[in-house]
Amino acid sequence: MKPQLHVITTGQQELGEVAAILERCPTALIDVLHVREKHRSARELVAWHARLKPLLPHTAVVLNDRLDAALAAGADGVQLTGSSLSAAQARRIAPPGLAIGCSVHSAEEAKSAAREGADFVIFGHVFATGSKPGLAPRGLPALAEAAAAASPVPVIAIGGMTPDRVSDVLAAGAGGIAVLSSVLLHEDPAGQLAAFREALNRHTSRSELDS
């Protein structure tokens, strides 16, 4: 499976701004867009999905934390956090085909999410990031442990991602990366998307040559 590129909304922008950015980007490069707007109501999340999904015909759109909003919107999936339902609880409610992701911070949590039926897990933060001030990054060894614990469920690495770090992250066992401000708040979001996708593809091509 090709490594995945997840883009997550920042919680700092209005819907119109995010839509305008995506309209200028090669959105086919994005595998999954996460609508992560913790301060917005379920009704607002449904509206975000309705506005953004038509801009992303080749991209899965998932809503974070709110399974009710994901179901009401007809979203492709839901991303569960530590305060959400468990993956097992969500799986009992969700219709077939709804992707379920889980945010985790340890190998134990990654293993539990995989056992409960998560389709993917997001692990972090791997590197230092401005969105987590004062919190030490977990690092590549912890990412490798989480990837091994969750296997074969893919682990998506988050936190401090740059194109230059992609190869090390994938070598540690990650199934892809997740980015927020490094794309949506960048002065050249389209260029950043292309750079991340190129880095993901370059590592995949190198791995295939080595195998």
Tell me the per-residue pLDDT of 182-203, one tens digit each, with 9 for 90 and over: 999 999 999 999 999 999 999 7
In the chain, what percentage of residues exceed pLDDT 90?
Answer: 89
Residue 209 pLDDT exceeds 60: no
Beta carbons of 144 and 126 less than 8 angstroms apart: no
Tell me if 64 is assigned to a ligand binding site. Answer: yes
Residue 89 pLDDT exceeds 60: yes
Tell me if 103 is assigned to a ligand binding site. Answer: yes
Q: Is the dihedral of CA 13, 169, 147, 204 positive or negative?
A: positive
Tell me if 160 is assigned to a ligand binding site. Answer: yes
Tell me if 55 is assigned to a ligand binding site. Answer: no
Task: Average the pLDDT over 77-82 and give the result.
Answer: 96
Hey, what domains does the chain have and what are their CATH numbers? 4-188 (3.20.20.70)
3-state secondary structure 111-161: HHHHHCCCCEEEEECCCCCCCCCCCCCCHHHHHHHHHHHHCCCCEEEECCC
What does the alpha-carbon distance between residue 169 and residue 149 come to, in Å, rounded to a whole number? Answer: 16
Tell me if 65 is assigned to a ligand binding site. Answer: yes
Q: Is the peptide bond before 152 cis (omega within 30 degrees of 0)?
A: yes
Tell me if 132 is assigned to a ligand binding site. Answer: yes
pLDDT bin (cut points 50, 70, 90) of residue 211 is: low
Beta carbons of 68 and 41 less than 8 angstroms apart: no
C-alpha distances (whole Å) from 140 to each of 28, 56, 104, 152, 201 are: 28, 31, 15, 18, 20
The pLDDT of residue 180 is 95
Tell me if 111 is assigned to a ligand binding site. Answer: no
Structure tokens at 176: 């892809």
Task: Average the pLDDT over 41-52 and give the result.
Answer: 98
pLDDT bin (cut points 50, 70, 90) of residue 156 is: very high
The overall pTM is greater than 0.85:
yes
What does the alpha-carbon distance between residue 25 and residue 103 come to, in Å, rounded to a whole number? Answer: 26
pLDDT tens profile 111-145:
999 999 999 999 999 998 777 777 888 999 999 99
Task: Describe the crossing of helices 107-115 and 139-150 by its angle, rounded to 10 degrees.
Answer: 20
Tell me if 130 is assigned to a ligand binding site. Answer: yes
